[in-house]
Amino acid sequence: MARLFDGVDDEVSIAPGAVTTSISMACRYRPAAFDGAVDHDMLSRTNKNTQQRNYQFDHRNYTTPARLEFNYTVTNNSFREHYVSFTATVGQWYHIVFSVTFGSPDTVALYLDGVSQTLTTAGTAGTPQTAGQTAKIGMVGGASLTNSALDGELADMAIWYGTALTATDAAFRTATACAFPTARAAAFRPATACAMRKLSVCWSTR
């Protein structure tokens, strides 16, 4: 099922703890509109007062060219960024998988429609900030800000906390086959069930 975000104040609140090891996400994404001043935030855990973030993945449209980006803050106003240029078409579905293991350097993978992407990296790696943050889908965590609101649809979204996807795992989540085969899912799923959370809670249109 797809969730439509209106680009203003639609969001999904989730309640994971801080992530200091690995995080992975898979989803299908269909942009509805573009605005040169907008981050279309897909997933974020941010402190709304300091803007320090544990993690953020977005479709960033104020850069030239636009890009898909994962970033986090190491210290106040010091960002670590991993990104790839992404010129999207309004109304077209895209399949996205990313996986990050924090470290020096980070280990990062991003797949777009099943194809591994070559990422550009900026900033200094380190331990991500975690204090006073709220996690959200479709909006910057901790704040309802039009300039961070996702304008489009997300579907088949899954998030893994503390788990990195391998290339083999990511290959199962392609544009045409968004679910793990049953046997592979059983083999891959983390031993602790709560380590694998899916988009299913607190849908909010405020």
How does pLDDT run along the chain (206 residues), one tens digit per residue? Answer: 688 888 888 888 887 778 889 999 988 899 988 766 678 889 988 887 777 889 999 998 878 889 999 999 987 678 899 999 998 999 999 989 999 999 888 999 999 988 889 999 999 888 898 887 888 898 876 555 557 888 899 988 888 888 888 777 765 555 444 443 333 333 333 333 333 333 333 333 33
Query: What per-residue confidence (pLDDT) applies to 146?
Result: 59
Q: Could you give the CA distance from residue 184 to residue 180 in angstroms, rounded to a whole number?
A: 6
Q: Which of 159, 161, 194 is nearest to 26 (CA)?
A: 159
Residue with tokens 């991993």: 82
Residue with tokens 């679910």: 179
pLDDT for residue 173: 57
**Which helix or strand (DSSP H or E) is residue 188 part of?**
helix 182-188
- Name the one residue in this structure whose structure tokens are 């402190």: 47
Could you tell me which of 34, 31, 53 has the C-alpha nearest to residue 44? 53
Q: Is the pTM of this model over 0.85?
A: no
